[in-house]
Amino acid sequence: MIIQTRNLTKRFGDFTAVDRLSIQVERGKIFAFLGANGSGKSTTIRMLIGLLRPTEGTVEVDGVDVIHHPRRVRDRIGYMGQKVSLYQGLSIRENAEFYAGLYGLAGADLERRWGALRERFSLADTEQEKPEDLPAGIRQRAGLALSTLHAPRLLFLDEPTAGVDVRSRALFWELIQDEAAAGVTVFVTTHFLEETDYCDWVCFIDEGRLIADAAPEELRRRYSGGYRVALEGAPAPRDRIGQLFPGGQIESTPAGLRLVLPTLEPAALAALDRLVAEQSGLRVHIEQPPMNEVFRRVLGERATTGGAA
């Protein structure tokens, strides 16, 4: 575990922003930290990187007690805040030189590192521009490039895709996934629920409390109506379907049948393949339950039971 918190709590006066939060993040994974505005996401991230002192609880990041030794992890973590922290009035290149200097990166090392990032993040055309003259999508990309300049093991991204258009968001997530593929652990907060599908693990907090903590598939299984598989274009025998998908429910629709599956495991996909091979002309359309639905249910369950999932 590269991040581990136990009963992490932050109170501002009477207001409890983060309430006894215990989370664990596995090395090399993309960890999504979800919640509405004001749910305690940023407060948590600030405690994890040593910008904020918790009221109670413990935090361990890459083996370091961040509460007592916040400086010890600074070489190993990269951070991009909600406001992308580029200095206005300085070009992207000058910003890069500035942050590199603070991490002791200069000369040929800087050239090599920045050269590679510039290519990967498509910043070659804009590196002489100042951030205030650039669109949000490029600024965000440049911000991510700068926070990975010193090759951190752990990246903290606070709402990195807020205010960015859809195309830039997709591009941005590709870059984040590249980082994870290279072995970097990514801790990312977002309020775009559909973005959790880019992630390996999802934590959902509400009013400072952890209310869901699982892989996205697991959340779908537990908190949604399941995958809806429309079978149309050719009559499909109900019995055969029942045989192939023992956990599924079969419903009739005007155009044919609808099969509802709690999860979409490899076995279920193989069974669908077989069905299509057996019934020529059968069209299959799989509808993934949207994360919005999942979280509506998570919240709904919390409202009725008051407990954590």
Nearer to another protein among residue 52 and residue 268 (C-beta):
52
The candidate with the shortest Cα–Cα distance to 80, out of 34, 146, 32, 28, is 146
Asked if 180 and 30 touch (Cβ cutoff 8 Å), the reply is yes
Q: Judged by CB under 8 A, which of 18, 25, 49, 275 binds another protein?
A: 49
Give the range of 43-51, 119-127, 204-212, 249-257 binding another protein by CB under 8 A.
43-51
Rounded CA-CA distance 258/239 in Å is 14
The four Cα atoms 30, 35, 40, 44 give a dihedral, to 10 degrees, of 0
Q: Judged by CB under 8 A, which of 35, 40, 57, 81 binds another protein?
A: 81
* # residues near another protein by CB under 8 A: 31
Residue 66 CB, nearest approach to another protein (Å): 10
What is the token pair recorded at 120?
């990967």
Q: Judged by CB under 8 A, which of 4, 11, 16, 90 binds another protein?
A: 90
Q: Where are the alpha helices (DSSP H) in 152-215?
A: 166-181
User: For residues 171-230, which are near another protein according to CB under 8 A?
Assistant: none
The candidate with the shortest Cα–Cα distance to 281, out of 308, 256, 264, is 256
Is residue 103 within the footprint of another protein (CB under 8 A)? yes
Is residue 275 within the footprint of another protein (CB under 8 A)? no
* Positions of E strands within 48-99: 56-61, 64-65, 77-80
Asked if 7 and 57 touch (Cβ cutoff 8 Å), the reply is yes
Is residue 237 within the footprint of another protein (CB under 8 A)? no
Give the range of 94-102, 163-171, 184-192, 293-301 binding another protein by CB under 8 A.
94-102
| Residues in touch with another protein (CB under 8 A) | 46, 49-53, 70-71, 74-75, 77, 79, 81-90, 94, 97-99, 101-104, 106
